[in-house]
Amino acid sequence: MPFSIQSMIETITQNEKDSGTYLKMCCSKLNSPGLTKLLMSIAEQENEHEIELRELLSGAGLPCSFAENTPAEINPASFTDLSAGKINLTTMGLLSFLLEYYQTTVLLYSKLARNTFDTQLQIFFKRLAEEETKILHWIRDRSDLEALQ
């Protein structure tokens, strides 16, 4: 089903906002100062992404920056919605859920970078993919640490 680039960016912007909110809610339920600090740091980064995406939405020419036949697999509706996450997960359950979420966001931003004609948008989405990859590694490292305890 076709989708507009505008609505896709709006969905991604909302996902970034929801992920920051979700991470903050999870922090209020955790008993781990180290994990709480990590998740709060990630939540701040997600809030920054939301702001950047809102600025992108306010710019002109966004719909012309992608091919008419942009692949449907980059439709954000097919990716994990962090707002659907449960609050009362075990620490490992939470980390597993976040690993899945960040794997899909890295994939989404990478595909967006590959499918835009605009060099600035390519750089923008590639940077977001790289930042989400760093978050993915932080969560994977924390997950490994939790598994060893």
If one counts every other C-beta atom within 10 angstroms of the C-beta of residue 2, the result is 8
Is residue 101 a contact partner of residue 140, using CB atoms and an 8 Å limit?
Answer: no
Is residue 27 a contact partner of residue 39, using CB atoms and an 8 Å limit?
Answer: yes
User: Tell me, what amino acid is at 136?
Assistant: L
Q: Identify the bridge partners of residue 116 per DSSP, sorted by sequence position.
A: 66
How would you write the pLDDT of the chain (149 residues) with one tens digit per residue? Answer: 455 677 778 888 998 998 999 999 888 888 889 999 999 999 999 999 999 998 888 875 555 556 555 555 555 555 555 555 565 578 888 898 899 889 999 998 998 888 888 788 889 999 999 999 999 999 999 999 888 87
pLDDT of residue 1: 43
Q: Considering its fold, how many domains does the chain have in total?
A: 1
Is residue 13 a contact partner of residue 95, using CB atoms and an 8 Å limit?
Answer: no
Q: How far is Cα 17 from Cα 56, in angstroms, rounded to an integer?
A: 15
Which structural domain range is residue 32 located in? Answer: 5-148
pTM for the full model? 0.81
pLDDT of residue 126: 95
Q: What is the CATH number of the domain that holds 139?
A: 1.20.1260.10
pLDDT of residue 23: 92
Q: How far is Cα 18 from Cα 53, in angstroms, rounded to an integer?
A: 13
